[in-house]
Structure 1
Amino acid sequence: MKRAFLLASALALACSLARADEPAKPNDDKTPPPEEVFKPEDVVTQGAIAGINYEAHAGTLVVHPGNWDDVKDKENKDNATAVASMFYVAYFKKGAAATERPVTFFYNGGPGSSTVWLHMGSFGPKRVITADDTHTPAAPYQVIDNDSTLLDASDLVFIDAPGTGFSRIAGKDKFKAFYGVDQDAYAFSQFIQQFLTKYGRWNSPKFLFGESYGTPRSAVLVNLLQSASVDFNGVILLSQILNFDLFDDIPDFNPGVDLPYQVSLPTYAATAWYHHKLPGQRPADLPKFLQEVEHFAMNDYALALLAGASLPDDQRHAIAEKLHAYTGLSVAYILKANLRVGGGEFEKNLQDDANLTTGRLDSRFSGPTLDPLSKSADYDPQSAAISSAYVSAFNDYVRRTLNYGHDRQFKPMIPVFSHWEFKHHQPGADFASLGITNVLPDLATAMKTNTNLKILLLGGYFDVATPYFQGVYEMRHLPIPQNLQANISYHYYQSGHMVYANADALKQMHRDVAAFIHSTDNVSRK
């Protein structure tokens, strides 16, 4: 039971509550209830922020799965296949010409997460205030004008995945139709193309912004859209994981693959640095210190792991001493772990002397350990600390300000893992891969077919869920010509998975994203 939950939570990369309850039993696949008879909606309100007057559109678009056009019985289409109503909130600057105004599509991940986190924390016109590395007190929460809104650079569209937030699915085989790597990306591609038509944005500069599982979604999605002749200017990847072989939560379930330990080590070092757990003098320059750890991870540490059982004892002890110097974990514990410490074990043991569990999504956070005798972390202190603020603030904002959803339930996170299909049909492959999901070929194909496509990686040094160096490693191994590496840029911050949860990091990230959009939107400026 516990192992099954840890596997599910490892895959749940979204910024969501850590929950140990059993997944809810899905609804019957037959006739949808009355509230799920779908039709497009569009509720318009007005607002202003930082001198920008804007329209907010809260609504839904109806999308169908990939086999929709193949259904032979056209007259009974509604009963033949599944359907989804996808909720969105779009913010448009008033008076701006569509051809000169970029539009950016935002989504969180999970899979199974709504986009409440990006909407209320990053670049929307409003954001909720949360404590920086401690538990945010209960309501009332403070929602303020967002000085870091990206409306100064782009129109914004926040999208809830099928079944999450105010989005809903219905019909025969609805879970199979929308819950999977390829099915999910197809639904988003249909949504975006409908959106471009509805609001006349086909000739606008276009960007994707995905967080967490939203990053593999972006890789598949941009290639899918460009295959449909919809080129994009840029893709922004926040807290990236494209190759699930690099996942560090339960790498002991995948013996013989040691890369997760290597790419996670710099994040462990950053976390130990933050909590003053490093032995000896604390380095003054964190990025410089992490460069040293990165070099060790890909050289001496890599060779030691590669040697496996043939590693001589003296070298094993030397590597353990070095890992102790970089992580603060005891040499005895590192040796017992065979030089391989997974994310959950690190979170449980770093501050075990104080009976504290270290955060996963943001390792600056700490919380009381639920089970002092457990092997690994039982929950994520950062999720527990801020989730109520985000969910409560959005539920109030969407009804009071956007005038939407008064009689509907908002679902911040839904259980999808009993249905989610992780196999993926990579570009050029004859069939879908049954192995661990890897969407690097999708992003590579998109970059090779559109050599002007630019990629921006963003991340936090204190993100154990998707360690920042993992993203660097993936991009360095992207199967593209060497000259296209120049199309990739990187920015990392002293924050966690939700970089924007730190106010200073949000300001820096706004500066970097706005600059990226301005440099790639192809709009002539006088």
Structure 2
Amino acid sequence: MRGLLLALCLAVFVVPAFADEAKADAQDKPEIPEAQSFSTDHTLKLGGETIRYTAVAGETYLRDAKDEPTASIFSVSYVRDGVSDPRNRPVTFVFNGGPGSASLWLHMGAFGPKQVVTPSDATDVGSPPYNVRDNQNSLLDVTDLVFIDPVGTGYSRPLGENDGKAFYGVNEDAESIAEFIRLWITENGRWNSPKYLAGESYGTTRAAALTEKLQGGWNGIGLNGVILISAILDFQTGEFGPGNDTAHIAYFPSEAAIAWYQGKVDKTKWNGDFNAFVQDARTYAIDTLAPALIRGSTLGAVREAEIASEMSAYLGVSAEWIKQAKLRVDPTRFRKELLRREGYTVGRFDGRYKGVDSEGTADSPENDPSGYGMDVAYVAALNDYLTRDLKVDFTRAYKVLTGEPGSQWNWSMNDSGWPEYVNVTPWLGKGMRENKDLRVMLASGWYDLATPFFGAEMALHKNGVVLDRVQFDYYDAGHMMYLAEQDGRKLSNDVRAFIRAGQ
């Protein structure tokens, strides 16, 4: 009896203690607010047709196996009104890159219903106010649009006790966006609609990874098309690590194109034909530069001098400078060297842009004139549009490109432990081979030193990609080709034709 009483007494004291601890734990957990959504109705006159559509700017919560929210993904959806059969209405999921960039660039520059106006001649946008107009390049006539901000960008964020690392990585990012897409098509009744992915920059890496995350396995979501804008698929073509000559081969034609644009090439040698010049630069990179770089120090001084002179004719910088670089023209140094004597640097995202540094002896530019020359207009336009037109009532900052996700990015694609370059192109090739209707569009700017066109071509020309279902389009601008009005129009027309061809 005394033992029973002791046990009962212990229960009296212990149970409340556990209850207090549970209560304290519950109080320590961050409070998760309800997801918010803002819906507005609009019209857009596009191509002589008045399109009525509903815009929904809101949060979608990702959840774990216990149904606890882990992250909020903010998106802006544009869905055309009056569509009787969603099977005949495509939906396109759109995102930018970084990693760590929000989707404002494609949203406000290329495909959304509103567009911020930037100078087509590669001069900077100056100070506000900036002109925002109805976008005649919007794709709402052929597809509904969903602009996605991955976790850590825009208004999207981890929730509860989760940090961003669970979503920052090649696989982690693709899995979270795939789950968002599954939720969106479920909530909107669009499982049987044609589906497209449109990504820019690292967004093309994400799009290729998504072909595997969405279509792979028995719970797959079929895709109709993947739109790659300024693509980076195989990172060996873009990483300038010691001993990696692939990147130098990939960048050579883009450096040559910029030299042509900036007037540093004798155009009479090619009868003023830019396309012939670029094709020659491609051929030279493969047939002459690549073997020379492979030879390394066995090339010989005489042959090295000959190649340096030949490269100078393409790149517009001195043969001696190229020779001193051991025929490996780093794009960052090239941006400083090309117009050094004129007192300018050239842009990374767009080699048409010129900047002025505080002094001229450095080996790299202070900043990217094609970045600071336009970004403030996009940031102002997007924030103004969200709050005034779409009635989004958030006071927290819209994160454009903070660097937080990218600095913590998990670049590993598997658990092998071996060092490797990220290459998502095999996933894209697999997706095409396993889906006979899946098509790919590559849109590249000639003057892009962030994701060069030849690097994307090199990746797509192998890795099991079905080339007869790849559409190649090129633009007389850089990374964000839609900064130039005529090229933004061409991009829109090319994408529109790509989507219509799949109907």
Same fold, TM-score > 0.5, yes or no: yes
Of 247, 250, 264, the residue aligned with 1:260 is 247
The Cα shift of 1:197 comes to 0.9
Q: What code does the residue aligned with 1:451 have?
A: K
1:106 is the counterpart of 2:94: yes
1:230 and 2:212 correspond: no
CA drift at 1:173: 4.4
SS in 2 for 1:208: strand
Gaps of 5+ in 1: 1-29, 522-526
Q: Which of 164, 172, 185 is equivalent to 1:175?
A: 164
Amino acid at match of 1:178: F
Contact 2:260–2:267, Cα closer than 8 Å, also in 1: no
| Residue 175 of structure 1, CA deviation | 2.3
Task: Give the superposition deviation at 1:225.
Answer: 0.4
Partner of 1:11: none
Are 1:422 and 2:404 counterparts? no
- After TM superposition, the structure 1 stretch with the greater mean CA deviation from structure 2, 104-113 or 364-373, is 364-373
CA distance in 2, matches of 1:32, 1:473: 49
Q: 2:438 aligns with which of 453, 470, 474?
A: 453
For structure 2, the 5+ residue unaligned runs are: 1-26
Partner residue of 1:48 out of 44, 55, 59: 44
User: 8 Å contact 1:40–1:62 — kept in the other structure?
Assistant: no
> In the superposition, relative to structure 1, how do residues 346 and 418 fare at CA in structure 2: closer, same or farther (>3 Å)?
same
**Partner SS for 1:288:** helix
How far is the alpha carbon of 1:298 from its aligned partner?
0.5
For residues 351 and 245 of structure 1, what CA distance do their matches in structure 2 show? 28
Q: Quick one: distance in 1 between partners of 2:44 and 2:320?
A: 58
Of 380-389 and 300-309, deviating more is 300-309
Per the TM alignment, residue 439 of structure 1 is displaced from its structure 2 partner at its CA by 1.1
AA partner of residue 162 (structure 1): V
Aligned mates of 1:402, 1:282 — CA distance in 2: 54
Task: Return the offset for 1:281.
Answer: 3.1
AA matched with 2:320: A
Aligned equivalents of 1:447 and 1:143: distance in 2? 38
Q: Partners of 1:328 and 1:384 in 2: how far apart? A: 25
Pick aligned residue for 1:497 from 454, 479, 483: 479
Query: What residue number does 2:294 align with?
Result: 306
Q: TM-score, normalised by structure 1?
A: 0.86
RMSD over aligned Cα atoms = 1.8
> 2:137 is matched with which residue?
148
CA separation of 1:282 and 1:195: change in aligned 2, threshold 3 A: farther
Kindly provide the CA deviation profile for residues 268-294 of structure 1, in whole angstroms up to 9, marking residues without a partner as x: 111011110114637522122100111
Alignment match of 2:495 (pick from 510, 513, 524) = 513
How many angstroms apart in 1 are the aligned matches of 2:474 and 2:418? 32
Per the TM alignment, residue 448 of structure 1 is displaced from its structure 2 partner at its CA by 1.9
1:127 aligns with 2:104: no
1:246 paired residue number: 237
Q: Report the CA distance between 1:171 and its aligned residue.
A: 3.2
The percentage of counterpart residues that share the same residue type is 38
Alpha-carbon distance in structure 2 between the residues aligned to 1:514 and 1:112: 27
Q: Which is greater in Rg?
A: 2
- 1:477 matched to which residue of 2? 462
Once residues 279 and 288 of structure 1 are traced to their aligned partners in structure 2, the CA distance between those partners, rounded to angstroms, is: 13
- Distance in structure 2 (CA, Å) of the matches to 1:161 and 1:49: 30
Residue-by-residue CA offset, 1:296-345 (whole Å, 9 max, x unaligned):
11001111111100012121111111110001011111011010011111
Distance 2:447 2:407 in 1: 30
Post-superposition Cα deviations, 1:41-97, rounded to whole Å, max 9, x if no partner, equal: 242332323221111111110114xxx33xxxx4xx64xxx7111111111111123
1:49–1:125: 8 Å Cα contact kept in structure 2? no
Alignment of 1:14-53 (within 5 A): 37-39=33-35, 41-50=37-46, 51-53=50-52
Give 1:155-170 correspondences, 5 Å limit. Answer: 155-170=144-159
